[in-house]
Amino acid sequence: MRYYIKGLDCPHCAEALEKYIQENKNVKYAKLNFTKGYLDLKLYDDAKFDEVYKYILKMEKVTLSKKEKNYTLDIKTIILMFVSLVFFILANVFNSLYLYIIAYVVVGYEVLFKAFKNIIRGKIFDERFLMSIASIGAFVIKEYNEAVLVMLLYTFGEFLQDLAIEKSRNQIKNLVDFKVENCDVVKGNVIINKDVNDVEIGDIIAVKLGEKVAIDGILLSDYATFNTQSLTGESKLYELSKNDEVLSGYVNEGDVIYVKTTKNYQDSTLKRILDMIENATENKATSETFITKFSKYYTPIVVLLAVVIGFVSFFAFNQTINASVTSSLVFLVVSCPCALILSIPLLYFAAIGRLSSYGILLKGSSYFEEINKVKEIVFDKTGTLTKGEFKVSEYSSIETLNIAANLEKYSLHPLAKSIAKNIKTPLEVEDFKEIKSRGVKGIINNQEYYFGNANLLKELGINVEKSDNILYLVNNKFIIGYITLEDEIKKDVKETLASLKQYNLVLLSGDDEQVVKDVATKLNIKEYYANKLPIEKAEIVKHKQNVMYVGDGVNDSLSLVNANVGVAMGLKGADSSIEVANVVLSKDNIASLNDLFKVSKKTSRIARFNIVFILTFKLLFLILGSLNLINMSLAVFADVGIALLMVLSSLRILK
């Protein structure tokens, strides 16, 4: 069960709470996502939830709800900060220790209490502990102003940070908000509003103007217009006719329509996209996992260094005890790794949301790094670069085309429609026969004609060079004409490939050599492979380094797995290819690759900037603090101030 969690103000707290929950005997599974603000919780017995909730509240005063609630301003914290500030001003005016203590306790009691509870549980090294030690230490050395300011600035910084995180969550939510929970099911003359999970295959659902289609199905209405932007990123309207396939997530832009479901909600496009997005941050980038491990060792080491600095400054440099303790306390406050462990996961989460707005589904933040390493892009041909819909590109004469088209109008072969649409003058065909995998025959105006490929001609005793895209018209065992078919290249493919010229582009296909060569020539692809079986395609991909494979069919699954980055084309692609791919382009257009590379590179730039900026700034302040050149207020800025700046820096990816 997923619960939306409110009341957590730091990544460290979330990590500690997750481990704490996992230790409960009633908990089977617990995963807390601080960035997205939810807790996935499975219990051995659901009846024990209240008991587990009370257990959680002993560590953190959080609220859990099954439905996500809109963010509300933390009025309590605002009041406490205001009251503390008033007492702080009065304390300065009257120089009263008691007023300083009141100002300190009003704003800092919750931080102190939580730090104390964590120490009892052995969870010592978090920012609350560091702030508590620093502020109490300031009181001990009679730096009352510094003590109160530490808590005030820390609380204010956490408040602003919380605002920034909520803003980012809302921005990201707007990019990936596909969810549909209920839909209207037609039962006779009655419409029943049902949970989408209770809708069965074959049910008829009604979709009103502005509503999302909840489950994949077949359009029963004569005509419908859809906005598909939430799935594809394209703002243009999509028109469908009766019996066309309708994908869940489409938004109805016209009158009420009716759709007969062909899948359960769990198997529908909408649910698959939601699952991809929800699971995306589970597969973490190297820098993200490094930072989590880094913070576990970093903070204890810095605490030890703070103690060493205090002793060294007192004994070696003959500083006063107050100055030595201040150096140690400043060093402790600055050392908090909050900026790192908050900004980097948030950046990757935001970047995945940004890609979703372009109709690109990335299955994990680790793939950003793999995408940026890509040197070669291998493309499947049919369905990826070409439409898989053949058209007549060349013919020997109008008469040949007309006879062939009249013969093919009776054929059931997939290519027949492409030829039959070219009828100029209708002709009566007698004694029609389909010759499987080779062609057709028929009598027109008392003349027997054969129309087919090189294999058909071979049976007729005529030898021609084999080519999958040339069909011949034969009369009296003589070739009297030919037609060349061409698999039409998709829109924007040529321009997109030209924009990817910094990569080595490769065309890989199971088609005839001449067909593949023609496509490669038109698209200016130097390296191509023809007549390759799926396993042979996979071997070629496997032996390349830093390679991206782009494909759409069942036979692409092996190649997608063997590539460093597997990209599946379109949500209508084979389930197996979408399942094993690392990236899904819902637009079904390789032009999306430009957006994929652009966002990946920008994400890496921001991640590098954040890490370098944080570490440089921290190191500078640690040095200044150890030399007693900055006060506690600046130390607090080096912690919560930098964390806030880095959160805002991470949100640049949404622009």
Cα torsion 629, 633, 637, 638 to 10°: value is 30
Query: What is the crossing angle of helices 338-357 and 592-626, to 10°?
Result: 170
Round to whole Å and give the CA distance between 498 and 252.
Answer: 36
Question: What's at 427, amino acid-wise?
Answer: L
Sheet of strand 565-569, all strands in order from the earlier edge strand to the far edge? 360-362, 583-585, 565-569, 547-551, 376-380, 504-508, 527-529
| Adjacent-strand bridge partners of 64 | 5
Helix, strand, coil percent content, the chain, rounded in steps of 5: 50, 20, 30
- Give the number of residues written for the chain: 655
Round to whole Å and give the CA distance between 366 and 285.
Answer: 4
Q: Give the residue carrying structure tokens 């406490």.
A: 80
Sheet of strand 223-227, all strands in order from the earlier edge strand to the far edge? 237-241, 223-227, 251-252
Phi-psi region of 388 (alpha: psi -120 to 50; beta: other; left: phi over 0): left
Tokens of 518: 């023609």
Using CA atoms, how far residue 437 sits from 434, 468, 488, in Å, is 9, 11, 22
Round to whole Å and give the CA distance between 125 and 615.
Answer: 19
Closest CA to 372 of 613, 559, 599: 599
Round to whole Å and give the CA distance between 328 and 302.
Answer: 10
Q: Given CA atoms 146, 149, 155, 160 in this order, what sign does their dihedral have?
A: negative
Q: What is the CA radius of gyration of the chain?
A: 33
DSSP state of 564: S
Which of 126, 216, 380, 588 is flagged as catalytic? 380
Cite the beta strand spans of 272-408 per DSSP E. Answer: 360-362, 376-380, 386-395
Round to whole Å and give the CA distance between 574 and 175.
Answer: 26
DSSP state of 502: T
Q: Give the residue carrying structure tokens 């481990």.
A: 19
Q: Map 121-158 to HEC letters.
A: CCCCCCHHHHHHHHHHHHHHCCCHHHHHHHHHHHHHHH
Classified as helix, coil or strand, 334 is helix
Contact indicator for 407, 429 with CB cutoff of 8 Å = yes
The yes-or-no answer on residue 380 being catalytic is yes
Q: How far is CA 635 from the centre of its chain?
A: 36
Q: Could you please report the per-residue DSSP string of 174-189?
A: HHH-----EEEEEETT
Q: Give the residue carrying structure tokens 């200016």.
A: 524
Round to whole Å and give the CA distance between 225 and 209.
Answer: 10
Q: Given CA atoms 382, 385, 387, 391 in this order, what sign does their dihedral have?
A: negative
Round to whole Å and give the CA distance between 416 and 409.
Answer: 7
Contact indicator for 195, 182 with CB cutoff of 8 Å = yes
| Adjacent-strand bridge partners of 542 | none
Contacts of 446 (CB under 8 A, 6+ apart): none
Classified as helix, coil or strand, 97 is helix
Which residues are known to be catalytic?
380
